[in-house]
Amino acid sequence: MNPETCVMLSGKAAMGRKVSDFAFETFNPAQGGFEDHSLNEYLQKGHWVVIFFYPADFTFVCPTELADLADQRKKFQELGVEVISVSTDTKFAHMAWQRSEKFLEDVKFQMAADGTGCISRYFGVYDEASGTAYRGTFIISPDGTLVSAEVNLNNVGRNVDELIRKLEANVHLAKNPEQACPARWKPGQRTLRPSEEIVGKVWGALKL
């Protein structure tokens, strides 16, 4: 863990607010080595960022989740999204796990090490009792705003299809800020334009 990270991260991440920059060490499976990165490095390239916390390497539900992310690599690229998985394991543990677990053989995204728990604490997912992170998923827009958060207890895996749906909706709304996406919205479907004309008449606005 970069020793500057805890200094950089004061307070807590908040929905609709800018996320503080932070540095982190990773194992990069695509290159087979260790690297140093920061959140702003990705935002300055105009990317959306998904921070994907999970409890620990060499566990049970976790590899199925990371494999699910890896299966959607092409879709993330199409949407301009950088995925960063995070746990409190070391970068060395990430390397050993990725190389030994068959579920992870297609993982190419950065695997960040949060050994001090500073990043996990900042996002509100750190479990002090176990020293690990809950299953937290956070979407950060290219301007650094936190636009989505999901946190699960450790025995329930997440659905990456729903993550993709939320990303597609947020990408659409970034281009069309006057609109709103209803439940289960997918690209090509009708959106809402909030106004006094459709108060109490949302059904009609969507069915016309």
- Name the residues annotated as catalytic: 62
Distances from the Cα of 34 to the Cα of 80, 115, 155, 197, angstroms = 23, 15, 30, 55
Q: Quick count: other Cβ atoms within 10 Å of Cβ 178?
A: 10
Determine the Cα–Cα distance for residues 21 and 9; give it in Å rounded to an integer. 7
Nearest residue to 208 (alpha-carbon basis) of 191, 196, 194, 195: 191
Strand 135-140 with 146-152, pairing: antiparallel
| CB under 8 A, 24+ apart: contacts of 37-44 | 37/84, 37/110, 37/112, 39/140, 39/144, 40/144, 42/82, 42/84, 43/140, 43/142, 43/143, 43/144
Helices (DSSP H) in the chain: which residue ranges?
A: 5-8, 39-43, 62-71, 73-79, 91-100, 118-122, 160-175, 202-207
